[in-house]
Structures are given as C-alpha cells and as structure tokens.
Structure 1
Amino acid sequence: MTPERKKKRVVVVGGGVAGSLLCKTLLNHKHLDFTLIDSKEYFEVSWANLRSMVEPAFAKRSVINHHEYLPGASIITSDAIGIEEDQVSTMEGRMIEFDYLVIATGHIGTSFVTKVEKLRQYEAENEKIKSSESILIVGGGPTGVELAGEIAVDFPTKKVKLVHRGTRLLEFIGEAAGKKALDWLTARNVEVILGQSVDLSSSSDGVYQTSSGEDIVADCHFKCTSDPIGSSWLQETYLKDSIKDDGRLMVDANLRVKDFENIFAIGDVTDIPELKQGYLAQRHALVVAKNLKLLSNGADESTLVKYTPASPMAIVSLGRREALLQVWCVTLIGRIPGMLKSKDLFVGKTRKQLGLKA
C-alpha cells in the first residue's frame, strides 16, 4: 500500500487579481494546503473601481470577501512584513511556514481593511463627485482617462480638468491611441492640460497650482498617478538581491524568483517585459498553479510550464458604452471595443472565474 503523501504548504502573499485566482485554482487540491495572507479581507476587481465611483452599487459585485470564493480556506488578514528561510512573518506577529511561497503583492493600494469600509469609500467618492461643479483629475494614464470618461458620461454638466505631466495621454501604448483619447475627452468638454504637474499638497481653498504657475480652481480632485510597487517589505529579506531598481522582482520563465526554486512571483510585482494588466496577472496565476501542482505531484522540473510574455494589447474604457482598443499598431475607438469591456468591465467574467454568480 502506497503511503499517503504529505501535503505541501503554500503561502500566497497578496489577494489581488493574481493571488485570488491562484488560491481559487489551488482550493481543494489533494497535495497542497495554502494560506492566503492579505492586508485586507476582500478581493476587488481593480479595473472596475472607477465605475464604482460614479455608481457605488456596482462595487457590491466587484468587491468580494475572500471567504466568499475560498470557503474554508486559511486566510490571514494582516500585512506580511518579512521572510525567513521557510516562514513568512506578519504584522500581527504570526509566523507562517511554507514549502512554496508565492508573492503577489502588486502595487501598494487601499488602506481599507474591510469590505464595508471599501463600499463606504465609494459612497463618499460618489457624493464628492455629485456635490462638485468642477473636478480636477491628476494623471493621464489609463486610470485618469477612464475616470474622466466615467464622469463625463454620467455627469456631463460637470467641469472636468485633467492634468498630465507627459506630452500625451496613455503613454504606455501608442501615440495614435493617446490622440484618439484626447479627441474623445475634449469632445465631451473635458479640458486636458499636458506637460504639467500639480502639487496637490499646496492647494488652498480649491485653488491648485500647476508646475507652470497656472492656477486651477476645482471643488475637488482625484489623484490618478501610479501607486508604488508592493515590494518594499522585501527589501530587508533574503530576496533583496532579486529586486530591481524599479522595485520589481526578477523571475525566470517558470515565474520563480531569481535564485530561488521554491519562491514564485506573479502579477505587477514581476519584471516580465509586458504591459502590466489584470488579465495578464491572471495568466501568471494559472501558470504558477500548474507548476505548484506538478511539483506537489513529484514531477521533474523539466516539465514545469513556462510563461511567454504577451503581445501588446490594451482596452481603455470610455464611459459605459465606448472604449479604446489597441492591438499591436491597430487602434480602434467607439462602440465596437466598448462592447468588449465597458458595459460590465469584465466583472461577471471575473466572478465566474472565482466560482461565483456573474
């Protein structure tokens, strides 16, 4: 009689788009026991959060308590603060042992721990938008452009100004896409100011000053610039030499952290040369899930799945019906790409991936 194989212990740090799908995929695997460590008690469909600002009820589907899709799983709501040889330490003083570790900490984001707090935040932001006649948006990347589009469509009488330090919008994709986004926004009375930044800390009585000395008057503002990479907690660990200057973790083709056979990284925290997007983070999660299953089954390392960086593709929603799509050098804007994303923002699809009703 073959003795029962001891389950391998997997610790996943980060319950965002990558970590959540990885845990769901590993749930109930006969050779793996996992523990999810996350600073908050919920997973959020992050690319839907701007819709939740103009329609708070939308967040009731896009903000999901971890226990809803991981029933019976081991979940620790705390910050991870360190790694020893086979243990992860948490802010609350716990030491969680692992055979395999997966780092999925993405970007430093929300400070709201509970789902209730997060839903209240959207209510507050919605009220701020509704009570303001003029709104300043700082940042012309996908977040700033999508928020401007959401407000312009749902609140067309609001005066929206978008300030971006770059010379064009959506610098992460092609120049034509940035020009189409600019034309779309200006056609809906969004004032776009390029090549300037705003010192939000120096604002006074609703007056904001740009780097060129221009005054902008607005009832409220939203900062839509990039959050820092969530790797600062690793700087004093033995993974510090695997962190690049930009804060991203170096990974190999199997998505293992450089120089470590039992530590993986997925999502935006990795240095994979591709656009940092949610659906790609989900691909990372599925590759690592396969590799963990192979390793737990005693497979040879030569059989591990390799990840191939994705070709450039991006969809930026523009309100509820339209979007901008870029695939390679082809750029489309309007209702057709909007049919792919803008109505539901892939929330139903993401919920189904987690085994929930769409």
Structure 2
Amino acid sequence: MAGQTNWMQLCSGISDTLRPPLRERSLSLASRFEKEQRIEMEKQEGNRVVILGGGVAGSLVAKSLQFHARVTLIDPKEYFEITWASLRAMVEPSFAERSVINHRDYLTNGDIVTSSAVNVTETEVVTADGRQIVYDYLVIAIGHADPVPKTRSERLNQFKEENQKIKSARSILIVGGGPTGVELAAEIAVDFPDKKLTLVHKGTRLLEFIGAKAGDKALKWLKSKNVEVKLEQLVELNVDSDKQNIYQTSDGETIEADCHYLCTGKPLASAWLKETVLKIDLDSWGRIMVDQNLKVKGRSNIYAIGDITDIPELKQGFLAQQQAEVVVKNLRVRIEGGRECMMETYKPHSALAIVSLGRREAVAQFPFLTIIGRIPGFVKSRDLFVGKTRKQMGLDPHTVQA
C-alpha cells in the first residue's frame, strides 16, 4: 500500500509540475494567433479595394487583386457576361453557358455585394440596399446602362426566349447599323437563311465608328445574304406598330416584321454620379475624366476604366480589359508601397476593330488595312474570344458550368 501511495503522489507531483508550462504554452499560442490576426487586419487596413461594376473590366480587376488586397465587388447582378458573345447566344442559347459566369466562380477570396451603387463619398460607397462600404481605393467600371436579369439562370432563360422568338418569326426588323445591328443581322442570316431580314440605319453608311471601307464591305456581305438594308432612314417604334407588326420609316416606307430588335447605342450608367462628389469629374457627355495612369483626374485613390472613361479611343471590350490590367498593376504598386514613378501608363489605341459576320467570317479594320472574309473570321468569329476570356479569369476555357 505504501508503494502504491508513493506512485500516486509521484504522478500528482508530475502533473502539478507540468500544468503551469502547458497553461503558459496554451496562452502563448493564443496570444500569437491574436497577434497574427491583428497584423493581418492591419495589413488589410489601407488596402480595401472597392470595384463598381462587374463587367469584363471590373471583374478582371477583382479577380486579379483578390489575393493582394481586401476586394469588394459591387454589381446589381450575380454574374458577369462576355458581352460580345451575347448575339451568338441569341441564335445558339447553349453558347451562353460559357459566356455568362457567376462572380463567385472566379472571385473566391473577395466580397460580392449584389446591389447598385447610389452614392459615392470621399471614403465610402452607399448601395441601394443601404450598405455603406468603406474604401481605400475605388475602381469605377460601370459602363453603359443595360437592364439585364439579376441571376445567371434568368439570363440563360432570356437567351432561350430570344432564340424561340427568332425561330418562330418569318420576318425580322433590326434597327441600327452599328456593330451590334450588323453582327445580329449576320448571325441570324447565317443560322436562319430562310428569315426575311430588314436592317434600317439612320446614318449614310454602316459601321460609322470605323472606316468607310469596312462599312461598304459589310453592306455588300449582308446584301449577299439577302438582308435588305435601308440607309438614312428612321423607324417609328410604338405599341401600335408592335401589335400590328407593321413599321413606318421616315421616308414613308412600310416594313412588315413579326418582331424587331433595337440595336442603337445605350446611355452611359453615370447619371447617378452627377449627384455625388464625382460630379466635377464628369465631362459634358457624362464620361469620367482620367489621367494617363487611369486615375480620375485630380484624385489619388479613385480609378476608372472601360466605356465610362473619356479615353479617346473606340470603346471595345478587349481595350477595357487592357485598362483593367494597367489599373491592377498600379494598385499593386500603391498597396505594396511603391513609388509613383513605378506606375504604368495607358496609351489610347488607334482604330482597330473586328466585326463578326456569322460563324466563319468577319470584317476587320487595322491601321493601314481593311479586310473581310475567313481570315479575320478565324481570329474572332468561331469562338468570339470566349475561351480566351475564361482562361484570363482563371476558368477552364471549355468547361460549361453545371
């Protein structure tokens, strides 16, 4: 018994001896964890990047900075869309499975606020649902006002409905002879050659945003596909004309069509900025004035990219993506404590455009050359850069989201 008691005392003594060091070690680990958390919070403080707009430019900024800053993306919809593929999705709805992408698929380490911004101050963004989101750096990429559904599934269903409308129509009217109108007419003419297509444009030629040769080549191509093109005319669109499927032009001509598509320019999404601190940063067109680093002129921590800017160049998706890459580099310089001289500048590009003409052909304008046919079509028309854009966003170029 005596031996047994001694062993118990010995074990008790060992336990008493070990308890304080174990407690101290536990407290030490907890203290270290708290310290690391505090350091991480201090690192993030000053690196809060808020991005307004989840289009091809804003989404790329969010994706690229998500592991370098505390990123918040504010967008009224839950997805971003490769917009130059939208017309193909109208004739082939399954194409949208790859071109309409939920924000959470690529933004795995950032916050997503599904709401519209309604106010901007010097330090925060206020959203339509009442949230106040503080920023250290703000990137404005709101582009044009384009009413689209909130969810990806709703957008995919919208393409299916448009496709059914095209399929069931015998005659279709397209209003607008810019890139959208020309590309839509071409998509329908190639996939549904039995449809009677009429394109009406108020200008003297098609594709007025680029050279006359490109417009002339596009006109000739459309006519070869039996698309009737009426230039220098307007169309009266109202409830009665839609009900009767009869449309009057400014020249007094009558056009019968089972449905119509309005492919004219959309307004910039900057009207609400006129009631904010940024009202002095808008030009007479409502565009945000930026400097060579893509900072809003006169401001040190607010940037703007894409169609919303006053950069003197064609407003195209691939240029907005290039601007996004410049802003990402410049924000990383700022966040990592680099000097102003290390920031990258953005130089406006000369006129360069490729307008798809169905699945295999396109018309392209380069600085010293305009060509049409399968060579430019090989560059753009087959996949419309969807695979390339998905890869740029860190996604599989071919896999369709379930």
Tell me the TM-score range normalised by the shorter chain.
over 0.9
Q: Can you list the C-alpha shifts for 1:160-215, whole angstroms capped at 9, x where unaligned? A: 00000100000000000000000000000000000011121252410111122221
Residue identity opposite 1:87 in structure 2: E
SS at 2:147 equivalent? coil
CA contact (8 A) 1:170 1:177 kept: yes
2-structure distance, mates of 1:357, 1:111: 25
2-structure distance, mates of 1:272, 1:209: 38
1:332 maps to 2:371: yes
2-structure distance, mates of 1:228, 1:10: 27
2-structure distance, mates of 1:191, 1:113: 36
SS at 1:140 equivalent? coil
Correspondence for 2:317 among 272, 278, 282 = 278
Structure 1 position 279, deviation (Å): 0.5
Name the structure 1 match of 2:92.
55
Structure 1 position 223, deviation (Å): 0.7
Q: Can you list the C-alpha shifts for 1:231-286, whole angstroms capped at 9, x where unaligned? A: 11211001111111111110000001111111000001000011100000000000
- Mark the runs of 5 or more structure 2 residues left unpaired by the alignment: 1-38, 398-402
Correspondence for 2:216 among 164, 175, 179 = 179
SS at 1:6 equivalent? helix
Name the structure 2 match of 1:128.
165
Show the 5 A alignment for 1:269-308: 269-308=308-347
Name the structure 2 match of 1:347.
386
Aligned CA RMSD, in angstroms, stands at 1.4
1-structure distance, mates of 2:381, 2:229: 22
Correspondence for 1:161 among 179, 198, 201 = 198
2-structure distance, mates of 1:188, 1:42: 35
CA contact (8 A) 2:73 2:113 kept: yes
Residue identity opposite 2:301 in structure 1: N
Structure 1 position 329, deviation (Å): 3.4
1:110 maps to 2:128: no
2-structure distance, mates of 1:207, 1:174: 33
Structure 1 position 148, deviation (Å): 0.3
Name the structure 2 match of 1:144.
181
1:33 maps to 2:74: no
Residue identity opposite 2:194 in structure 1: T
1:244 maps to 2:286: no
2-structure distance, mates of 1:328, 1:254: 25
CA contact (8 A) 2:66 2:109 kept: no
Correspondence for 1:67 among 72, 86, 104 = 104
1-structure distance, mates of 2:230, 2:157: 31
- Mark the runs of 5 or more structure 1 residues left unpaired by the alignment: none
Once structures 1 and 2 are overlaid, which stretch shifts more, 55-64 or 233-242? 233-242
2-structure distance, mates of 1:45, 1:144: 17
1-structure distance, mates of 2:391, 2:339: 32
Structure 1 position 84, deviation (Å): 1.4
CA contact (8 A) 2:101 2:152 kept: yes
SS at 2:375 equivalent? helix
Structure 1 position 110, deviation (Å): 2.8
SS at 2:94 equivalent? helix
* TM-score for both structures, normalised by structure 1: 0.97
CA contact (8 A) 2:67 2:109 kept: no
SS at 1:212 equivalent? coil
CA contact (8 A) 1:61 1:347 kept: yes
SS at 1:320 equivalent? coil
Residue identity opposite 2:377 in structure 1: G
Name the structure 1 match of 2:123.
86
1:100 maps to 2:100: no
Which protein shows a greater Rg? 2
SS at 2:244 equivalent? coil
Structure 1 position 294, deviation (Å): 0.3
1-structure distance, mates of 2:318, 2:109: 26
CA contact (8 A) 1:174 1:329 kept: no
SS at 1:325 equivalent? strand
Q: Percent of pairs identical after alignment?
A: 60
